[in-house]
Structure 1
Amino acid sequence: MKKYFSITIILALILILSCEKDDICLENTTPNLVLKFYDINNDTLAKPVTSLTVWANELDTIYLDKPFDSIIIPLDFNLNKTNYKLVSNKIVDTIYFSYERNDIFISRSCGYKTIFENIEIDSFTNNWIKGFNINNTIIDNDTTAHINIYH
C-alpha cells in the first residue's frame, strides 16, 4: 500500500512540475499611425473633420461620420509602403506613405511587433488636404500624433 502511495505522490509531483506557466501577452502590439487634423489658416488650431471614409488596398475600410480631429490607421507591416484614400464630403485625397520596418521580438506569447521607422509621405493629392507636417518619423506607439494634416 505504501508502495502505491509513494508512486502516486511521485507521479503527481512529475505532473505538477511538468506544467508550463500560461503565457498571456500583456505588451502592446504593432502601433498604428496617428493623424491629427488642423486648420490650414491656423496651424495650432485643431480642425475636426465631420465626415470621413478611409481605405487602403488589402485593409478594412473605416467610416467615421461624427466630428473628430484625429484618426488611428494601421500601416502594412508586410510592405514598406501604404497608400490611403481619405474621402471627406465626397472629395478624395490619396496619401502615399513609405517607411522601414523593424521587427522586435517581445515574448513567446506576444511574438513580434513591428516598429515603423523613417516614415515619409512620398506624395499626396491636395483636393481637400492642403498640407502636412511629420511630427515623429518613428512609429513606436499610438498615443501621440505622428503626422499633422492641414485642411
Structure 2
Amino acid sequence: MKKFVSILLLFTFGLSSCEKDDICDANTPTTPRLVITFYDDIDPTTPAPVVNMTVKGQDQENPIIFNKNATDDNQYYVNASTVSIPLRTDSDTTTYEFTYNASGTGRNTDILTFRYTRESIYVSRACGYKMNYILDQAAPVVRTDPDGVNWMLNINVLNRNIVSEDETHINIVF
C-alpha cells in the first residue's frame, strides 16, 4: 500500500510541474487595421461601394490583396463600401495610394498619409505584443493629389483611437 501511495504522490507531483502549451488563441485581439467607410456625394448618409479600387502602400510593388481567391489583377480590386487597411508598426506615418476605377477608364489616384502615435501593448507570452494607434489631433490625414483631380471629396475622422476593427475610424465622401 505504501508503494501505491508513493507512486501516486510521485505521479501527482510530476503532473503539477508540467507547463501548459504556449499557443495564442485565434480569438485573441491583434493589431487592428484602420477601417474606412466610403459614401457617395449624392447621398452622404448611406455607405456606397467604390469601383475597382486598389490600395497600394508607398514604395510597395503591389497593392493590398483584397480577394485572396483571385489569381490575376482582380485580387487587388475592392468593390465594397468599407475597407480595412494596416498601418505601419515601425513608423508614425503610413502613406497609401487609393486608385478609384483602377481597371478602367476614368482611373484616378489620391494619396493619403495617416499620422499617428503608436502604443505597444503586451498581450501574452504566446501572443506577444499588439499595436494600438491614436491618429494625430492636428492633421491625422494629409492628402496629396498627383493628377490635380481629387476623387475623394471629403475626409472625416470619426474615431482617432484605433484599438479594434469593430467600428469605422474614417469616412470618405467621393
The TM-score bracket by the shorter chain reads 0.7 to 0.9
Aligned-partner Cα distance in 1 for 2:91–2:13: 47
1:34 CA drift (Å): 0.3
- The whole-number CA distance in structure 1 between the counterparts of 2:47 and 2:8 is 68
In the alignment, structure 1 residue 122 sits paired with structure 2 residue 142? yes
- Contact 2:110–2:143 (CA under 8 A) maintained in structure 1: no
Corresponding residue pairs, total: 149
Q: CA deviation at 1:134?
A: 0.2
Question: Which whole-Å deviations, capped at 9, do the CAs of 1:29-75 have from their partners, x for residues lacking one?
Answer: 0100000001224321212112111111458623125x310101000
The residue correspondences of 1:85-100 to structure 2 (distance < 5 A) are 85-89=97-101, 90-100=107-117
In structure 1, give the amino acid aligned to 2:52.
Answer: S
1:59-104 per-position Cα deviation (integer Å, ceiling 9, x unaligned): 8623125x31010100001110000111112211110101000111
SS in 2 for 1:15: helix
2-side partners of 1:39 and 1:87: how far apart? 16
The reply to whether residue 54 of structure 1 matches residue 77 of structure 2 is: no
- CA RMSD between the two structures: 2.4
Q: Which amino acid aligns with 1:17?
A: S
In structure 2, the gaps of 5 or more residues are: 66-75, 102-106
Residue aligning to 1:69? 81
Moved more, 99-108 or 117-126: 117-126
Distance 1:78 1:23, change over 3 A: same
Secondary structure, aligned partner of 1:46: coil
TM-score scaled to structure 2, two decimals? 0.74
Whether 1:143 and 2:166 are equivalent positions in the alignment is: yes
Q: 1 or 2, which has the higher strand percentage?
A: 1
Shift of 1:10: 5.9
SS where residue 16 of structure 1 aligns?
helix
Shift of 1:127: 2.4
Query: 1:21, CA displacement in angstroms?
Result: 1.4
Provide Cα deviations, 1:1-36, integer angstroms capped at 9, x if missing partner: x87x78765654443222111233232101000000
Which consecutive residues of structure 1, in runs of 5 or more, have no partner in the other structure? none
**Shift of residue 122, structure 1, vs aligned partner:** 2.5
Q: Is the 8 A contact 2:54 2:63 kept in 1?
A: no
Runs of 4+ off more than 3 Å: 5-15, 57-60
**Which 10-residue stretch deviates more, 109-118 or 10-19?**
10-19
Q: Could you tell me the TM-score, scaled by structure 1's length?
A: 0.84
1:112-139 Cα offsets, whole Å, 9 max, x none, are: 1111013410334352111110000000
